Structures are given as structure tokens and as C-alpha cells.
Structure 1
Amino acid sequence: MTDEGFALEDVSEHLDDASAMVWVDLCAPDVADLQLVADELGLHALAVEDATSGRQRPKFNRFTGHDFLTVYAVQLDVQTGALVTGEIAAFITAQALVTVRKDNDFPIEGLLDRWDDNTDLAKYGVGSLVHGLLDYVVDGHFDAVQALDDQIEELEDLLFDDRPHDKDVQRRSFELRKSLVHLRRVVLPMREVLNTLMRRDVGLVPNDMTPHFQDVYDHVLRATEWTESLRDLVATIVETNLTIQGNRLNIITKKVTSWAAIIAVPTAITGFYGQNLPYPGFSNDSGFITSSALIVTLSGGLYMAFRRKQWL
């Protein structure tokens, strides 16, 4: 039998049934509601304070009579490159799971779908609910890392485009690196969370569910390694962009220098023939023809030489 939408005051009554499993979801609760649940379940004051204040590091703490879990759901905003996080705190007892969200940034509908897809695990009690929560969160981490990987690939294509995109590459690199740092702070502690949660002395994970939690732990390791590799890759892209800018500047410098050398030839010749002194061909057509021939020959020779050296 399933009972939904009951009052918080009735939680203890449902828990009187030894076969009952209770889930309570509180979205942006006020102090009175949270304290009511705390009194019903005997929650520790420090855990209640952490759930109220928010902005906690992902963690799993043990208290007398219950455990306390904090995790983050993440999603990448592809347009801005910003990482959107949704914090959820969970109080875990032998028969109840209480989730506390600061706002609607944590998509609770996705979590419900995940539980509905794994109803065969419900026989393992609250541990199945915790598994669904962690599995959903870690899959979100994976999706965020995949989205960041796709964005970095687009950044690489932009980096080696024939047209310079220095400002776009610099701005996007900064945005993605910032998101990766944020994601790392969310993903990295999950290894410790899963390690502690699966310990036998905790007693939360039944033996039959150990493979399911181990699978989540493997996903955490993969997401962590992937995040670290992407951070290194973004740093490499920034360094490569600076190198490309330096190479481009060298090419421009060579081209400007080459054209300056070519332009110097007619300047020198016309300057010589512009003297106010008699010289061979002075005031004659032969002087004009000679100077013109010298300009064309020497300028053309320099141009061909620079082209062979790929300076132009």
C-alpha cells in the first residue's frame, strides 16, 4: 500500500509499521517544518544545521540513529558554459529517507523516474532509495562531463580555424575552465562518500545491493578521471592559443619586414636619381629607363626570394 501527501506530523505513525518505508521531500523548508521532521525522527542538531545552511561539501556523516548525506546535481548551460548545481541533503534512517532541497535547481522529477525504473530494488528498503539518489546524481555528473568534452572539441576546432578567433577562444576557455573547477569540487568528494557509505560497519548497503553501489562507485571514478583530463586539456588549449598568437605575430612581422625591404629598393633608386648633380643619363631618357629597370628587377628579385622562403 502506498500513502502520499500525508502531513509531517504523521511520519512517526507510518514508521510504527516495521515494514513501512517513508520518503519525505522538503523544498526550501522553513525552520519550523525542518525542526518538526527532526523531532519526529530524532535528527541530530548539527545535521539539521548543515541542511538548513546549505552550500556543504559533498559528504556522508554518521550520527546516532541516522546518517546524513549531501550531494549535488549538475547541469551545463551550453550557451554560457556555466555549471548549474542543485544541492540536496538527505537524512537516512532505517526506515526513512528525508531529502531537503534549497530550491528547484535539483530536478526531483528525474529522481522519481529513476526510482520508478528500479522498483525491483525496493525490497532492499531505504538502501534502494539512497542508491537511486546517488545513481541519478552521478549520471548527471557524467552528462555534464560529456557536455564539457563536446564543448572543448568545438573549442579545438575554433582554435585551428583559418580565421583568428582569439577573443572567443580566450573567453570560452575561461568559462569552461571555471566550470571544470566547479565540477571537480562536486565530483571528487563523491569517491569518499561512496567509500564510506559502502562500508560494512555502516550497514546501509545490503549484500545483494553491493554490486549496484559498486557500479555507481566505478562511474564516480570515471567521471573524476575524465574531469581531471579535461582540465589538463583546457590548460593545453590556452597554451596552444598563446603559441598560435605568437607564431601569427612572427609571420606578420616577417611579411611587414619583407614588404619594407621591397619598398626600400625604389626609394633608394629614386633617391639616388633625384640628386641635383650631373650623372650618367642625367636629363636623358636613358636615365629614366635605367632607374625603372633597376626598380623592377631588384624589387621583383626580392619578392621572388621572399616568396621562396615563405615570408610572403
Structure 2
Amino acid sequence: MTSNTPSTAMNGRVLDRAGSGGAGKLPKWLRLLLKSKTGTTGVVILLVVSVTAIFAPLLAPHDPVQQNVADMLVPPAWAEGGTSKYLLGTDNLGRDMLSRILYGSQVSLVVGLLSVVLAGTIGLAIGLVSSFYGGWIDNAFMRLVDSFLAIPNILFTLVILKVTGPGMTTLIVVLGVTNWVVYARIIRAEVLSLKEREFVRAAKSIGVRDATIMVRHLLPNVTSSFIVVSTLSMATTIIAESSLSFLGLGIQPPTVSWGGMLSAGREYLSDSWWMATFPGLAITITTLGVIFVGDWLRDLLDPRTKEL
């Protein structure tokens, strides 16, 4: 009886490890994702939107720019008086709404991603250099930041687009150039604290170059904040692109954009509600998906988050 006790205890520990092994093998990010309802929802939304954008030519039932005068303002197939040919109806020029929404996802993702990459690169570089060197360099960059903060982003963007003319490339550059400030301020605040740490002082004492310290020692420590800000900034950028396209200063026809579709549908709200409703829902759902993922990433990358 006594001789079997260690074996029994050992077997119990083995069974415990085997029973919890499935959960223990899951990566931390996946466990956090499965635990977070908003995170899971956001990831699913972004996956659907991304797949839609990539495979839009295969998924679209009709040519998004093909006009059909005989089918103008046809209601959705499931609505009263609808036709099975058009699932989400047609617009005032007889173009299929579903196909246009599918193609519009490409514009929103491309503009959002590229604008965030440009703004993040500018803000990261300025934030690192400004806080690392300090002195007059920091003062000069911070006065530049104050200048950008003094002018509303949308007003600054409208002025530049009015001078340079609308277009996708111009829109990406303008949104990137006007949205770097938030990155610079957050990165600067973190580096001001990090540069006084022992590992930075040790690197300086042995003659490591400043560029190497910033890239190899400081940059990895601000990556989590950078990713979270980038995610939330992308939601803002998608809304900005839609707003500018709505005003006629963003994406120009025949390129399809959700903001342009929303602008075209505002004149038909009373009797052709689907023209504005579906693009508006696409913008709202995509933006919420990005925000949900940003909240999840904040929890995932927060150093204060305890191991689950």
C-alpha cells in the first residue's frame, strides 16, 4: 500500500499535465484571443474583409462599373419588389451594389494600410531621434508637432487635396503626412524613459553607435505601443478616406470607394435606401473590426498583462 503511493502521485501529476496540456500548448496570443469576445469578433471581421478584398474579382457577380440603364434603382433581391439577379440591388446607374461593395473593400484596405505605414514610419523616426538626442533637436521637432496639432487634420488634408488634386496616391501621401504626430508623441514619451535605463547606458559606455542603440535596443521596446497605435490609427484613416471620397476629394470614379457610394446614395435615401445603407454598414463594420483588434492587441502587448 505504501509502496504504491509515489507511483500513484506520479501518475496523478502525469494525468494533470496531460489534461492541461491542450490549453498549455496554445500560444498566449491565441488564448487571449479566444478569451476576448471583441478580439475574436474583430479578427473575424478583418479576415472576411481581407478575403473579400483579395478575391473581389472572383466573388463579384457583376462588373462593378458596368452601367445598365434598364436595371436602375432595382431593390435588393430579398426586399419587397426585389429581383433575384441583384442581391443588394443596384444604384442610380444600374450598377450592382454587391459587386461595388466588394471592390470598395480593396480601396479602404489599401489606403488604410499604406497611409498608416507612411505615418508610422515618419512618426517613429521623429520620435526616436527627438527623444534620444534631446536638446535643440527635441525642441525643434516638438514645435513642429505643436504646429501640426494647431491645425485640424481634416482641414489640412482638404487644403492639400484642393491644391494638388484628388487621387489615390495623393490621398495616401496626404493622410500619411498629416497623421504621424500621434506616433511621434507616444514614441518620444517611451524613449525618454527608456534611454535612462542601464542597458542603454551600458551600450553607450562601450562605444555602441547611436543608430545601433536606437534600432537594436530602443526600437524593440516601443514596438508594442507602435503596433497598437497603428491599428487604431487605421480605423481613423478608413473613416477619413471615406469622408474625403464622400466630399469628392478622395478616390475618383471609375474607381469604386465606399465613401463615393455613400455620397451617390444620399440623394436617394427616401426611395432607394439601399444605395447609402450598405456602403455605410461596410464602413461601420470594418472600422469596428479594426478597433476591436486594436483593443485586443493592447491587452496582448501590455507588459502588465499576466500570464493566463
TM-score normalised to structure 1 length: 0.27
The structure, 1 or 2, with the larger RCO (C-alpha pairs under 8 Å, 6+ apart) is 2
Higher strand share: 1
